[in-house]
C-alpha cells in the first residue's frame, strides 16, 4: 500500500534517532532545563536573528498553539484565523476551551490578507463583542499554500496598524521556507511568536515555540506546566532539534518533500487531474470522481479533504522526507489506470 | 428626543413596581428559595404545559445563556447558531469563555433552518473537530424575525434526528408569541430549554429559564451559583414575574410593542424607506442614506445596525410597552422631513 | 417568627425604593452608561479619595468577585485567602471555575495576617506551582471580625513586599467601617480594588467595584459583559447607590445593624452563652447545646454555622438595618427560656 | 556527581529504545489509531482484568490527570486529594485551570483515608459549595508511601457510599505494586480510572490511562485532542508500552528501583539519619542538618523537599531502574563523612 496519508506516518530521521540513542543513558535535569535544550534554543535564536527570544520546546502542535495563545490573550481577546486554519478545523475547539473565540474568515486558498484582517477588526468594536487581538496564520497553510516574505511583511504592517499580535503556526515551516523562499529570520522579524515544527519534518515529535515579543515571554513556563505541556524528559526535544538543525538537515528534509510533491503535481497535471488550489508545497489536493477515489483507496492511503458536488471528491496527498521516489512513480502509475478520472 | 433605541430604556411596568413596593419589607429566605419564586415557577410550568420542568430565575439574558449552555454541554461539545445570534455577536464571547465553540451559520434573516443545521452537523465529524450538540435560536431573532409553530417543530425534528438539544433564547418571547401566533406550550413541546424574557417586557430585570428535558436539570443551581447568577434577594424575580404573568399582562405588553412597530412599519413603507428584513415584530431595520441617518440622530435615539454600501446605513428602531403612540407619529413626521431618504 | 437569618431577607430601604419609583419611567441608555451611574461613580470616587479610580456597578457579590479576580489574574496566578473566605466556602468554586486556584489559609478568626501571607508565598515557588498574586480579604469577615486601619496598612505593606494585589470584598463594608473605625479612603489607600456592598445594606441588590490600580482597569467592561455581569437597565444600580450614599445613609444603616448586634451580644454574655469569636459587627456566632438550638428554631430563623464536638452547635445571628429593636429583646427573652443553654 | 534527583533523568530502558528503533521507519496511521497502540491497550486490559476498559496513551502525567479529571467532572464538581498530592502541589493549578476546585486534605504520610474523605464530603453540602465528586490518590504517593489492597478496597467502599469516583495516579504504579503487593487487577477492581506510568519506569515518556467505568468513557478522545494530548505519532506510546509490559519488564524495573531504595534506607538507618516518613518505595526523605545537606550537594544531585525547624532540611533521594548499585554504596559512603549528620 502506497502511503500519501500524511507526513507523520513514520518515526524519526535516522540522524535524529541516532542522537537519541547516543544520549539515552545520560542523566540530565528534567523539564527542558538541560544543556541539550539550551543548545537547541540558542541555535534557534541564532537562526531567527532574535538573540533575546524565548524558545520553548513542546511535544505537539495543538499543545503549542493552545499553550501559546492561551498565555498571550486576556479573557475577552479573540483570534482571527482563516476558517480552514488548524485551530479552527482540526483541534477540537482547543482555543475556545481556553476561553477564546476564534473569528473565522473565509479564505479559499487558506491565506489571510490585510483586507480580511481589517474587515474582522472593523466588525468587532465595542464592549459587547470580543476584541480581536491575535492573528493566527499557518505556513504552509492547511491547503499547502505558502506565504512569502512580502506577504509576511504586509501582515505585520496591518497588525501594527491594528495593534494585533501575529502568530505563525509553523507545523510545516521547513516546507514553507523552501517553497516560499523565506528564512528563519523572516519569522523573527515579522511575528510576535511562531513555531518551528519538528513532528512533520524528521523528529519523533516536537515543536519549538519562539516568542519574539518581550511582552509575551513572562510566565510562559508556568502556562506550559499548567497545560500539561512540559515534558519530564525535556531533553528529548533538545536532542532532536539539535540533530535536525545541524548542517541544515531541517531544510534538506523539507526540500525533499517539496520536490517529491512537485514531481507528483506535474504528473497529476499531465493526467489532467485538477487541484483544489495550485500546488505549492508538500500537500496536494487533487479532485477525483468519487468512483476513482474509491478505486484508488485499494492502492494508496490518503485523506479525504471534502466531498464536492457532481459526485466528485477532493483528496489530499502528502509527501514527506521519507517518501520514496518510487512511491511517487507508483502512485502516478495507479492514477493513470483509474476509470473516468 | 424620541427614543427608539431599545426596549430596555425605562424601568418596570407600574404593576411590577407596585408588587415590588408592596412586598418590600417582607422577610423571606434568599437565593430564590421563597414562596414568590415558587409561585412564579408554578405559573410558568402551567403556561408551558410542563408540570415537571425546572424553572430558574436569572437577572439577565447573557447570564442565562451562559449559565444554561455551560451547564448543558460537555467540554468538547459545540453550539450551532446563526451568525447574527446574540451569543455570537453581542455577548463578548461569553459562551467561548465557558470553553465552547459556537459554529456560526450565515442566515440573512437571522433564522436557522433544518438545512443549515444539517450542513453544520455534516461538517463536524471525527475527533479533531468539536461535536455539535446544542442548537441556539432566539425568538424573536436579533433581526426581529419570528419562528412560528411549524418552524419550531421542524427544528425539533432535525434536533431529534441529529441528537441535538434545542435551546431558545426568549429575551423577546412575548413579542415572538404575539407576532408568530405561538403560545408558551409550543416552547415546552419543542425545546429542551428556553428562556422567558422579562427585562425587555415590563420587568426591571429578569429572565426565566425553563429546563424541560429531565437530563439537563441536574445540578443547575450549583452551576448558577458558580456563575454568580443566583440573586441574593431572589424573590425580586419571583415577585416581578408573578406580576407580569398575571392576567396576561406579559402578552398584553408585547402585543402593544408589536402593534406600535406595525404602525411604524406601515409609515416607513408609505415613505418608501426600505427595510433590511421584512417587519415582523418590535424591531425594525430601515435603510437610510447616511446623511439622512445623521440628520435623524438630532431628533431620535436609535442604534446603528450596519454600514452598507452606497453610503447607506441600516439602523434599528425598537418599540416597547412604554413607547407612546405619539412618539411613533412624531418619528414618522421627522422621517418625512429628512433629505434624500 | 423572629428573623436573624441574614441581612438580605428584606427588600430595599424606603429611600432607595423611593428613588427607583421616582425615576422608573425615565428613558436612559443601558448597560450602566447613564447619568445615574456616572453620578454614583463620582460620589464613590470622592468618598474613596481616588479621583481616577474606575467604579463599576454589579448586581451581586459572587459576580463581582468572579469578574474582578478573573480580570486581574493571568492563568497561572492564584489567590490567597482565609479558608473561611466567601470565595472559598460559599461561591461554589466560582474562582476556580475561572481557572484560578485559591490557596486556603487557616485563620480561626477569619482574618489574614502578614505572617500567613508570607508563609503562603514561601510555599509556592517555582514553575510547578501556581504563583500567588492576589490577596483576598473580606471586611467584615465571614465570622464578623473586622480589619482596622492599621491592619489594612500592614496587609498593604506585605503585598508591596511580595508583589501581590490586595482585594477587599466589602459585601459588608459599611458594617466594617462602623465597627473598625475605617473610612472609604482607607480602602482607596490600601487596596488595589475593593467592593462596596449594597445588597446587605439597604439596596435591593448591587455591589460597587472600585478599581484603584491603573494597571487593573483596562478592558474590565469587556470582562463584565463576558461574565454576564452587565445589567441591561444598569441605571438601577446607579440610582440605588446614589440614594444610600447621600447624606451618609449607607453608614447610618450599617451603624444601626451593628448597634443592634452589640445589644444582642451583651445579652448573650449576660446569659452566659459563649461565642465562637468575639462580637465585632453585625454577625454573631453563639454556641448552644444542640437541643437548645433545636428548640430555638421554633421561635427564630437563623443559620447553622458548624456542628461542634460535645453535642453543641455554633449558630449565626445577623442583624440588619431593618431589624426591629423589639426583635432583639424578644430573641434574648426566648434564649433565656432555653433548656441547658 | 551521584544522581538521586529523580527517576526520569535518563532516557529509556534499552529494550524500549530497541523497539522504537526497530519500528522507526514503519508507516502507520497517526493519533494512536495504530496496531501497536491497540496491542498495548489489549495487554493492559488483560493485565487489569478489565476486558471492556478504555485504554488511552498520553505523553505525561500532568497531561493525563488534566485530561482525565477534566473529562470526568461537571463544572461544579470538585476533587478530594491529599495536600501533598501531585495535582495539588506540582502541576501549577492544572486542575483548577480546567475549572475544578481541589479540596486539599492534610495527610502527613500523603495517604487519604475513608475518614478524611468522609470529613471532606460532610463539609461540602448545599448549593453554595462545590460538590465533591472524585477522589484522587497517587500510588505510590508523593512521599513514597504505598496503598495496599485492603486500603484500595476501603477507599472504593467509601467512594461507593458517597457516590464518588476513585482515580489513581499511577505515575509510579510499578513501584507501588512491588512495594505494596498489589497487582494490576487490584486497580481494575477498585478504581474508576487509573494511570500506569511509563515515564518513571523505563519509557522515554508515556502514561496509560485506563478508564474502567463505562460512564466515563464517552467522548474521551475528543477531550484528549482538545487538551492537546493526542500524540501525532501515537504509535510511539504503543511501541514503548508493549516493550515494557512484555515478559514483566515493567515490574522487574520497578522492583529493582525499590530494592536499591531499601538498601539505601538500611544504610541511612545504620547512619542514624531519620526519615520524614518510613521508607516504603523508591523515594526516601531523609532529614539532615542544613550544613550537611549543603555539603552533600557537592557530591550528589537530589531535591530539597522542605525546610524544617532547627536548621534542618528534608531532602529526597530517588532510585530508578538505571541507578547503579555502586551509586548507592557511594552515596552512603559520602553520607558517612558528612559533619553533624
Q: Is D181 left (phi over 0), alpha (psi -120 to 50) or beta?
A: left
Give the whole-angstrom CA distance, residue D322 versus residue D201.
Answer: 9
Residues of chain A contacting C76 with CB distance shorter than 8 Å: 219, 222-223, 225-226
Give the whole-angstrom CA distance, residue A215 versus residue B254.
Answer: 52
Burial of A194 (0-12, 13-18, 19+ CB in 10 A): buried
Q: Do A105 and A80 meet the contact criterion of CB atoms below 8 Å apart? A: yes
Phi, psi (deg, nearest 5) at residue B222: -60, -45
Give the whole-angstrom CA distance, residue D299 versus residue D304.
Answer: 15
Residue B304, chain A, CB below 8 Å: the answer is no
Residue whose entry in the numeric block shows the C-alpha cell 468618598: C47
Cell of B56: 430558574
pLDDT higher than 70, residue D341: no
Q: For testing the chain D interface, which of A20, A233, A301, A322 should be mutated: the one with the most D CBs within 10 Å?
A: A233
Nearest by CB to B59, which of C12, C23, C231? Answer: C231
Query: What are the pLDDT digits (tens) for C170-227?
Result: 999 999 999 999 999 999 999 999 999 999 999 999 999 999 999 999 999 999 999 9
Give the whole-angstrom CA distance, residue A198 versus residue A207.
Answer: 5
Burial of A4 (0-12, 13-18, 19+ CB in 10 A): buried
Would the CB atoms of C76 and A131 count as touching at under 8 Å?
no
pLDDT higher than 70, residue B181: yes
CA C328 to chain B, closest CA, distance in angstroms equals 16
Q: Which contiguous run of DSSP H or E holds residue A329?
A: helix A325-337
Residue C96, chain D, CB below 8 Å: the answer is yes
Q: Do A133 and A153 meet the contact criterion of CB atoms below 8 Å apart? A: no
Give the whole-angstrom CA distance, residue A149 versus residue C253.
Answer: 68
- Per-residue pLDDT, A340: 67
Would the CB atoms of A222 and C31 count as touching at under 8 Å?
no
Q: Using CB atoms and an 8 Å cut-off, which of residues 220-249 of chain A contact chain D?
A: 222, 225-233, 236
CB atoms within 10 A of CB A125: 10
Give the whole-angstrom CA distance, residue A3 versus residue D29.
Answer: 10
- Per-residue pLDDT, D289: 96
Q: Which contiguous run of DSSP H or E holds residue A331?
A: helix A325-337
Residue whose entry in the numeric block shows the C-alpha cell 407612546: B324
Q: Across the beta sheet with D193-197, what order do the strands follow?
A: D54-58, D207-211, D193-197, D165-169, D131-138, D77-82, D102-105
Q: Which contiguous run of DSSP H or E holds residue D15?
A: helix D14-22
Distances (CA, A) of B177 to B4, B33, B197, B211, D112: 21, 29, 12, 19, 56
Give the whole-angstrom CA distance, residue D170 versus residue D176.
Answer: 8
Would the CB atoms of B96 and A101 count as touching at under 8 Å?
yes
- Per-residue pLDDT, A84: 97
Residue whose entry in the numeric block shows the C-alpha cell 430563623: C301
What integer is the mean pLDDT of D143-162?
98
Averaged pLDDT of chain D:
97
- Dihedral angle at the C-alpha atoms of B165, B171, B173, B179, nearest 10 degrees? -120
Q: Do B134 and B72 meet the contact criterion of CB atoms below 8 Å apart? A: yes
- Per-residue pLDDT, C144: 98
Which other chains touch chain B, taking contact as 3+ CB pairs less than 8 Å apart? A, C, D
Establish, for the pair of chains B and C, how many residue pairs have beta carbons separated by less than 8 Å.
142
What integer is the mean pLDDT of A44-61?
98
What integer is the mean pLDDT of A8-21?
98
Nearest by CB to A205, which of D12, D17, D232? Answer: D232
Q: What is the pTM assigned to this prediction?
A: 0.97
Helices C35-48 and C235-245: crossing angle in degrees, nearest 10, is 40
Residues of chain B contacting C2 with CB distance shorter than 8 Å: none
Q: Using CB atoms and an 8 Å cut-off, which of residues 47-86 of chain D contact chain A?
A: 59-67
Residues of chain D contacting A228 with CB distance shorter than 8 Å: 60, 62-67, 91, 94, 227-229
Query: What are the pLDDT digits (tens) for B283-312?
Result: 999 999 999 999 999 999 999 999 999 999
CA C128 to chain A, closest CA, distance in angstroms equals 7
CA nearest to A186, candidates A220, A206, A212, A223? A212
Distances (CA, A) of D236 to A90, A126, A178, D38: 21, 48, 28, 12
Q: Do C121 and C132 meet the contact criterion of CB atoms below 8 Å apart? A: yes
Give percent of chain D above pLDDT 90: 99
Residues of chain A contacting B75 with CB distance shorter than 8 Å: 97
Residue B125, chain A, CB below 8 Å: the answer is no
pLDDT higher than 90, residue D339: no
pLDDT higher than 90, residue B317: yes
Would the CB atoms of A97 and B99 count as touching at under 8 Å?
yes
- ipTM of this complex: 0.97
Would the CB atoms of D97 and C98 count as touching at under 8 Å?
no
Averaged pLDDT of chain A:
97
Would the CB atoms of C30 and B6 count as touching at under 8 Å?
yes
- Confidence label for C339 from pLDDT (cuts 50, 70 and 90): confident
Cell of C176: 466594617
Distances (CA, A) of A333 to A2, A292, B310: 11, 14, 55
For B203, name the nearest residue in chain C, comparing CA atoms only: C233
Give the whole-angstrom CA distance, residue B78 versus residue B99.
Answer: 9
Query: What are the pLDDT digits (tens) for C244-291?
Result: 999 999 999 999 999 999 999 999 999 999 999 999 999 999 999 999
pLDDT higher than 80, residue C37: yes
Query: What are the pLDDT digits (tens) for B60-89?
Result: 999 999 999 999 999 999 999 999 999 999
Which other chains touch chain D, taking contact as 3+ CB pairs less than 8 Å apart? A, B, C
CA nearest to B63, candidates B99, B95, B104, B25? B95
HEC string of B195-238 equals EEECCCCCCCCCEEEEECCHHHCCCHHHHHHHCCCCCCCCHHHH
**Residue B65 neighbours by CB under 8 Å, 6+ apart:** B86, B87, B91, B94, B95, B136, B169, B195, C228
Give the CA angle between residues A287, A290, A291 to the nearest 5°.
125
Residue A3, chain D, CB below 8 Å: the answer is yes
- Confidence label for B145 from pLDDT (cuts 50, 70 and 90): very high
pLDDT higher than 70, residue C4: yes
Cell of B242: 408573578
Query: What are the pLDDT digits (tens) for C109-160?
Result: 999 999 999 999 999 999 999 999 999 999 999 999 999 999 999 999 999 9
Q: Do B81 and B87 meet the contact criterion of CB atoms below 8 Å apart? A: yes
Residue D100, chain C, CB below 8 Å: the answer is yes
- Confidence label for B341 from pLDDT (cuts 50, 70 and 90): low
Q: Do C187 and C180 meet the contact criterion of CB atoms below 8 Å apart? A: no
Give the whole-angstrom CA distance, residue D145 versus residue D149.
Answer: 14
- Confidence label for D172 from pLDDT (cuts 50, 70 and 90): very high
Nearest by CB to B91, which of A93, A102, A128? Answer: A128
Tell me the pairing of strands B287-289 and B312-318. antiparallel
Query: What are the pLDDT digits (tens) for D78-91?
Result: 999 999 999 999 99
Nearest by CB to C76, which of D90, D92, D101? Answer: D92
Cell of B78: 459545540
Q: For testing the chain C interface, which of B18, B33, B232, B237 should be mutated: the one with the most C CBs within 10 Å?
A: B232
Helices B35-48 and B235-245: crossing angle in degrees, nearest 10, is 40
CB atoms within 10 A of CB B324: 11
Would the CB atoms of C128 and D97 count as touching at under 8 Å?
no
Give the sign of the dihedral formed by CA C90, CA C92, CA C97, CA C103. Answer: positive
- Per-residue pLDDT, C341: 60
Residues of chain C contacting D96 with CB distance shorter than 8 Å: 96, 99-101, 130
- Per-residue pLDDT, B339: 77
Q: For testing the chain B interface, which of C20, C206, C232, C297 should be mutated: the one with the most B CBs within 10 Å?
A: C232
Establish, for the pair of chains A and D, how many residue pairs have beta carbons separated by less than 8 Å.
144
Would the CB atoms of C78 and D93 count as touching at under 8 Å?
yes
Cell of C173: 463594608
- Confidence label for A271 from pLDDT (cuts 50, 70 and 90): very high
Q: How far is C-alpha C238 from the chain's CA centre?
A: 19
Helix locations, chain C, DSSP H? 14-22, 35-48, 61-72, 86-89, 94-97, 114-122, 149-162, 173-180, 184-190, 220-226, 235-245, 249-270, 290-296, 325-337
CA A74 to chain C, closest CA, distance in angstroms equals 8
Give the whole-angstrom CA distance, residue D233 versus residue A6.
Answer: 11
Residues of chain C contacting D76 with CB distance shorter than 8 Å: 92-93, 97
Would the CB atoms of C222 and A76 count as touching at under 8 Å?
yes
Would the CB atoms of B30 and C9 count as touching at under 8 Å?
yes
Q: For testing the chain D interface, which of A7, A11, A62, A169 should be mutated: the one with the most D CBs within 10 Å?
A: A11
Residues in chain A: 341
CA B111 to chain A, closest CA, distance in angstroms equals 20
Give the whole-angstrom CA distance, residue C101 versus residue A222.
Answer: 13
Strand partners, C2: C300
Averaged pLDDT of chain C:
97
Q: For testing the chain C interface, which of B228, B236, B331 should be mutated: the one with the most C CBs within 10 Å?
A: B228
CA nearest to B76, candidates D224, D167, D76? D224
Q: Do B9 and C30 meet the contact criterion of CB atoms below 8 Å apart? A: yes
Q: E strands within chain A? A: 2-3, 54-58, 77-82, 102-105, 131-138, 165-169, 193-197, 207-211, 283-284, 287-289, 300-301, 303-308, 312-318
Query: What are the pLDDT digits (tens) for C323-332?
Result: 999 999 999 9
Give the whole-angstrom CA distance, residue C318 versus residue C316.
Answer: 6
Residues of chain A contacting D24 with CB distance shorter than 8 Å: 10-12, 14, 17
Amino acid at each position: 500500500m502506497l502511503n500519501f496519508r500524511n507526513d507523520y506516518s513514520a518515526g524519526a530521521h535516522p540522524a535524529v534517532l541516532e542522537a537519541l540513542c547516543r544520549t539515552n543513558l545520560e542523566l540530565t535535569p528534567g523539564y527542558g532545563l538541560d544543556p541539550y535544550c539550551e543548545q537547541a534554543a540558542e541555535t534557534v535564536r541564532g537562526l531567527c536573528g532574535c538573540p533575546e527570544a524565548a524558545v520553548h520546546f513542546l511535544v505537539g502542535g495543538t499543545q503549542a498553539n493552545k499553550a501559546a495563545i492561551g498565555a498571550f490573550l486576556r479573557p475577552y481577546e479573540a483570534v482571527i484565523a482563516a476558517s480552514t486554519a488548524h485551530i479552527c478545523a482540526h483541534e477540537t475547539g482547543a482555543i475556545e476551551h481556553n476561553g477564546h473565540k476564534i473569528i473565522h474568515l473565509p479564505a479559499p486558498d487558506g491565506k489571510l490578507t490585510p483586507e480580511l484582517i481589517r474587515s474582522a477588526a472593523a466588525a468587532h468594536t465595542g464592549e459587547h463583542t470580543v476584541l480581536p487581538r491575535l492573528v493566527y496564520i499557518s505556513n504552509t497553510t492547511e491547503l499547502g499554500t505558502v506565504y512569502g516574505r512580502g506577504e509576511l511583511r504586509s501582515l505585520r504592517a496591518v497588525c501594527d496598524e491594528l495593534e494585533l499580535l501575529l502568530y505563525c503556526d509553523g507545523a510545516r515551516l521547513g516546507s514553507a521556507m523552501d517553497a516560499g523562499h523565506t528564512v528563519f529570520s523572516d519569522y523573527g522579524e515579522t511575528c510576535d511568536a511562531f513555531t518551528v515544527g519538528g513532528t512533520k519534518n524528521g523528529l519523533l515529535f516536537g515543536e519549538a515555540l519562539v516568542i519574539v515579543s518581550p511582552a509575551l515571554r513572562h510566565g510562559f513556563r508556568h502556562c506550559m506546566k499548567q497545560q500539561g505541556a512540559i515534558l519530564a524528559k525535556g531533553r528529548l526535544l533538545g536532542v532532536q532539534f539539535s540533530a535536525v538543525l545541524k548542517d541544515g538537515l531541517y531544510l534538506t528534509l523539507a526540500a525533499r518533500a517539496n520536490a517529491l510533491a512537485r514531481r507528483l503535481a506535474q504528473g497529476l497535471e499531465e493526467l489532467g487531474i485538477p487541484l483544489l488550489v495550485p500546488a505549492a508545497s508538500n500537500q496536494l489536493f487533487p479532485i477525483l470522481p468519487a468512483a476513482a477515489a474509491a478505486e484508488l483507496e485499494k492502492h494508496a492511503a490518503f485523506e479525504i479533504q471534502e466531498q464536492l458536488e457532481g459526485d466528485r471528491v477532493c483528496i489530499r496527498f502528502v509527501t514527506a522526507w521519507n517518501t520514496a521516489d518510487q512511491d511517487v512513480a507508483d502512485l502516478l502509475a495507479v492514477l493513470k489506470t483509474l476509470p473516468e478520472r
